[in-house]
Structure 1
Amino acid sequence: MLETWSLRVLVEVAERGSFSAAADALTMTQPAVSRQIAALEHKVGVALFRRVPRGVAPTAAGAIAIDEARAILGRLAGMESRLGAFAELRTGHVRVSAFPSANTEFVPEAIRRFSDLYPGVDVSLVVAGWRQIRSGDVDVALVTNWDRVDDDGVDLVPLLEEEHRVALPAAHRLAGRTTVPLRDLRGETWIEGSHPDCLGPLEGLEKALGGPPRIGFTCDDWTGKQALVAAGMGVTIISTLAASAVRPDIALRPAAPALPRRRVLAAVAPRDVRTPAARAMLTVLTTLAAGYR
């Protein structure tokens, strides 16, 4: 197989018209250039240059070899340029997945910050999960410690810890309380959601209520779940991660005893195969999470 450096020497000799001029341009000795060309001619089995009064000129075969060498070197330079653009985050694509409450404010803000820093990199918010990290269909997936993530081929990076609040209709009898005793909600209708924006570890809630919650509605849609609470159809639990997106006709109150906290993590590919764009998005997420309240 021909070596890239040999092709570079070939082109340089053709452009300079002599071995000595090519040697000066390449910071080589004239004998070293001669040896490179001789080795290349031996490998391809044909003479590439002929002697002329003031140097060398390509043979017919040499002219073809020089054209091909220029094309190959040009393609290699183009590849280096394009890959360099990915490495320097001047271009590329990063795909993020997250659960609904994280998508209310936290993830959109992370995407905005990332896009401000790296305007040439496309960002997609996709419906997927941490398992797609392994297949390469997702670059960063937000998960919680309620998820059972198999860490084989997936790294988990802690981002933040959030609390949970009881969500009540604004006109609810307990909405004016600073803290809501869960035992006072024993007879309420509860609204369940999709994982992980659900009632969470029900064992703790059941113990505080004195029995299992009476679930009257299950709604996977974030807007629909809030609408049911606001309409007085029931109560639910909402994480503080989504507190800023809660409707004004819903009251969020701490519970007594306190509801379990939840850790939010970023699932990413292992460091040695993580793309530059994924590394940059992870940095944005961890920076944003550090200032999260």
Structure 2
Amino acid sequence: MLDLWSLRVLHEVGRLGSFSAAAGELSMTQPAVSRQIATLERRAGVRLFDRLPRGVRPTDAGRAALDQAAEILDGVTLFETRLRAFAEAGAGRVRVSAFPSAATAYVPDRFRAFAALHPGVELSLTVRGGPDDPYAGLLAGQADVALLTSWDPEPGPGVELAPLMEDDLHVALARTHPLARGERVRLRDLADEAWIDGTHPDCLGPLSQLTTALGGPPRVSHLCDDWNGRQGLVAAGVGVMLYPSIAGRAALRADIRLLRPSPRLPSRRVLAALPSATPSPAVAAFVALLAR
């Protein structure tokens, strides 16, 4: 039965073209390398190398064996790398930058799940709002992962994006609102309502469909950056707002109802932005969990 060390010897002899050179690379003697190759040839029943006055040359069978050995050794290396990544993911840190609605339920839930799997990793969250560049923290080395939406601009060089989820938009009304009884609400019926807007991307957004469905631009009467403050305004019945699904039902006040808008508003994609450099095992494991 073949073993990995024999394949390693075969590979080095083929790569270097010499028993002596392979012996030096593998910290073996030249006769030991020669015996190893002879044993392989005896087991295979074919000659793998032609012995030359200076070095060796693979036969046709030898070239086929070398190709197969390279694939096996690469597979073993990948196997070891993946297992090592899981082991190393148990330590380190993951610094996350997120917009407010993502920080309400989505990120805390993922933090809880990740901490149960990797208790040795230090997790930290920075909530980003307003017109801040979502990529600035990444490029400045202040964050390892930034959450953003498809409403944000495309990144420049040095940043890669990983898709995470589709974020559906609902309409939030006070439970006492006359239109809050059903499961859906016609957007045209909200044309005269006061709308509550917030910071990007938790805002009314680049939604031409909303303007079309209302029959005109939404009448924005309240600007509030704080997520809880916006819900308070809705609950008081002084306005209505869009509520993204990423904020989660658990974060919803009991005196507010969520309704599906009619016509349906297009969902926005939520993405993770990472520096183009290979992430640490802990960061890679966290992003994989985000995408589940």
How would you bin the TM-score normalised by the shorter chain? 0.5 to 0.7
Q: Which deviations, in whole Å up to 9, do the C-alpha atoms of 1:60-106 show, x marking residues without a partner?
A: xxxxxxxxxxxxxxxxxxxxxxxx99971343111001111111111
Query: Which of 218, 223, 226 is the aligned partner of 2:228?
Result: 223
Letter in 2 for 1:108: P
**TM-fit CA distance, 1:118:** 1.4
Letter in 2 for 1:144: T
Q: How do 1:180-219 residues align onto structure 2 when only pairs under 5 Å count?
A: 180-219=185-224
How many residues were matched structurally?
206
1:126 and 2:126 equivalent?
yes
Q: Which deviations, in whole Å up to 9, do the C-alpha atoms of 1:93-135 show, x marking residues without a partner?
A: 1100111111111111111111111111111102453222122
SS at match of 2:273: strand
Deviation >2 Å, runs of 4+? 84-87, 127-131
1:135 and 2:135 equivalent?
no
**TM-fit CA distance, 1:170:** 0.4
**TM-fit CA distance, 1:151:** 4.0
Q: Which deviations, in whole Å up to 9, do the C-alpha atoms of 1:223-254 show, x marking residues without a partner?
A: 00000000011001001112411111111101
- CA distance in structure 2 between the partners assigned to 1:167 and 1:189 by the alignment: 12
Letter in 1 for 2:182: R
Question: Which of 245-254 and 220-229 deviates more?
Answer: 245-254
Instruction: Report the equivalent of 1:161.
Output: 166
Q: How do 1:31-180 residues align onto structure 2 when only pairs under 5 Å count?
A: 88-128=88-128, 129-180=134-185
SS at match of 2:164: strand
Letter in 1 for 2:245: T
- CA distance in structure 2 between the partners assigned to 1:107 and 1:250 by the alignment: 22
1:258 and 2:239 equivalent?
no
- CA distance in structure 2 between the partners assigned to 1:87 and 1:276 by the alignment: 8
SS at match of 1:159: strand
SS at match of 1:101: helix
**How has the CA–CA distance of structure 1 residues 101 and 118 changed in structure 2, closer, same or farther, with 3 Å as cutoff?**
same
**How has the CA–CA distance of structure 1 residues 114 and 243 changed in structure 2, closer, same or farther, with 3 Å as cutoff?**
closer
Q: Which deviations, in whole Å up to 9, do the C-alpha atoms of 1:11-69 show, x marking residues without a partner?
A: xxxxxxxxxxxxxxxx889xxxxxxxxxxxxxxxxxxxxxxxxxxxxxxxxxxxxxxxx
- CA distance in structure 2 between the partners assigned to 1:212 and 1:85 by the alignment: 51
Query: Which of 244, 252, 258 is the aligned partner of 1:246?
Result: 252
For the Cα contact (< 8 Å) 1:154–1:268, is it kept in 2?
Answer: yes
**How has the CA–CA distance of structure 1 residues 115 and 264 changed in structure 2, closer, same or farther, with 3 Å as cutoff?**
same
- CA distance in structure 2 between the partners assigned to 1:243 and 1:254 by the alignment: 15
For the Cα contact (< 8 Å) 1:130–1:143, is it kept in 2?
Answer: no
Structure of larger gyration radius: 1
- CA distance in structure 1 between the partners assigned to 2:259 and 2:115 by the alignment: 35
SS at match of 1:258: coil
SS at match of 2:104: coil
- CA distance in structure 1 between the partners assigned to 2:216 and 2:140 by the alignment: 42
Letter in 2 for 1:266: A
- CA distance in structure 2 between the partners assigned to 1:170 and 1:135 by the alignment: 44
For the Cα contact (< 8 Å) 1:86–1:92, is it kept in 2?
Answer: no
TM-score by length of 1: 0.66
Letter in 2 for 1:106: Y
Q: Which segments of 5 or more consecutive residues in structure 2 lack a partner in the other structure? A: 1-26, 30-83, 129-133
Q: Which segments of 5 or more consecutive residues in structure 1 lack a partner in the other structure? A: 1-26, 30-83, 288-293
Question: Which of 112-121 and 140-149 deviates more?
Answer: 112-121
Instruction: Report the equivalent of 1:12.
Output: none
